Chains A and B, each alone.
Chain A
Amino acid sequence: GQQVMQIPQYQHVQEGEDFTTYCNSSITLSNIQWYKQRPGGHPVFLIQLVKSGEVKKQKRLTFQFGEAKKNSSLHITATQTTDVGTYFCTYNFNKFYFGSGTKLNVKP
Chain B
Amino acid sequence: EAQVTQNPRYLITVTGKKLTVTCSQNMNHEYMSWYRQDPGLGLRQIYYSMNVEVTDKGDVPEGYKVSRKEKRNFPLILESPSPNQTSLYFCASNPSGGSLGGELFFGEGSRLTVL
Contact = CB atoms under 8 A, between A and B. Distances in A.
B58 A101 contact: no
Contact of B42 (A31, A41, A88): A88
Nearest to A50: B101
A48 B101 contact: yes
A92 B92 CA distance: 13
A100 B42 contact: yes
B45 interface: yes
B76 to A, nearest CB: 15
B42 A42 contact: no
Interface stretch (B17-25, B66-74, B78-86, B105-113): B105-113
Contacts of A99: 42
A93 B42 contact: no
B59 interface: yes
Contact of B56 (A35, A90, A95): A95
A92 B109 contact: no
A48 B106 contact: no
Given A42-B106, A43-B106, A90-B104, A98 B97 contact: no
A33 interface: yes
Given A92-B97, A99-B42, A42 B107 contact: yes
A1 interface: yes
A21 B106 CA distance: 22
A40 to B, nearest CB: 9
Nearest to A35: B104
Contact of A95 (B33, B41, B108): B33
A48 B104 CA distance: 11
Given A33-B103, A101-B42, A96 B109 contact: no
Contacts of B107: 42
Interface of A: 1, 9, 30-31, 33, 35, 41-45, 48, 50, 88, 90, 92-96, 98-101
20 contacts: A1-B59, A31-B101, A42-B107, A42-B109, A43-B43, A45-B104, A48-B102, A88-B42, A92-B94, A92-B99, A92-B100, A94-B50, A94-B97, A95-B45, A95-B48, A95-B56, A96-B48, A98-B43, A98-B45, A100-B41
